[in-house]
Amino acid sequence: MAKKKKKNGQLRQTQTGFLPFKLRPFDWAVIMAALVILFASLLAAGHPYKLDSADPYGFLIWFLLLLGHLPMEIIEFSAKLAGIEGATIENFTRNREALLLGICNLSVLAACWGIMRFYILKRYGSEPLRIAVIFLRLIFFWGVFQLLCFIAVKNWSDGKVNPLHRDLKKTEIRK
């Protein structure tokens, strides 16, 4: 709760939380998007980075590639410019590409949050933040949809779901 102090006869509201600023809808949208990114990267961690096959973890990887592809390319390009031979991301993060994508996603999200929160808000007002909230909500709901697709395909491929029609059930081969 914020306390009210009197200063020069006027009531002034002070912040008593652990943050020096009030959380806006933009901040909550960033937090929600970050949670989905974190959850997706933890679920896909340790699974191969195979986008060419029908793997349930592909839903999570494709979602993580939404924001994380550009930083991964920058890392790859800077390693080539530095002359590090064979320094591909796949060599450093074998079967942990989802964690790297999650870190890249969260770093892009943190950079955008800082720029929007501390530069754009002061310079242009709150209208650009409203647009950013819409974009972040799109990312959040797309991530939730991809997580639900992952859960559905994972359950279906593990055999935990019965076919909806009796003709789709596996038939026994008679000898």
Question: Around Cβ 8, how many Cβ atoms within 10 Å?
Answer: 5
41 sits in which H/E element: helix 25-44
Please report which helix (H) or strand (E) contains residue 148, including its range. Answer: helix 127-157
The pLDDT tens digits of the residues spanning 48-64 come to: 777 676 788 888 888 88
Residue 115: per-residue pLDDT: 93
pLDDT at residue 142 tops 90:
yes
How many Cβ atoms sit within 10 Å of the Cβ of residue 62? 13
- Residue 74's pLDDT is 82
pLDDT 10s digits, 97-132: 788 888 889 999 999 999 998 899 889 888 888 999
pLDDT value, residue 143: 93
Place of tokens 């009531």: 11
Tokens of 175: 């000898």
Cα(first)–Cα(last) distance of the chain, in Å? 76
Q: What is the pLDDT of residue 156?
A: 80
Question: Could you tell me which residues come within 8 angstroms of residue 134 by beta carbon, excluding any fewer than 6 positions away?
Answer: none
As a whole number of angstroms, the distance between CA 41 and CA 60 comes to 7
Percent of the chain with pLDDT over 70: 70
> By CB neighbour count within 10 A (0-12 exposed, 13-18 middle, 19+ buried), where does 2 fall?
exposed
Write out pLDDT tens, residues 1-39.
455 555 565 655 555 566 666 788 888 999 999 999 999
Identify the burial level of 139 via C-beta atoms within 10 angstroms of its C-beta, where 0-12 means exposed, 13-18 middle and 19 or more buried.
buried
The pLDDT value given to residue 126 = 85
Report pTM: 0.73
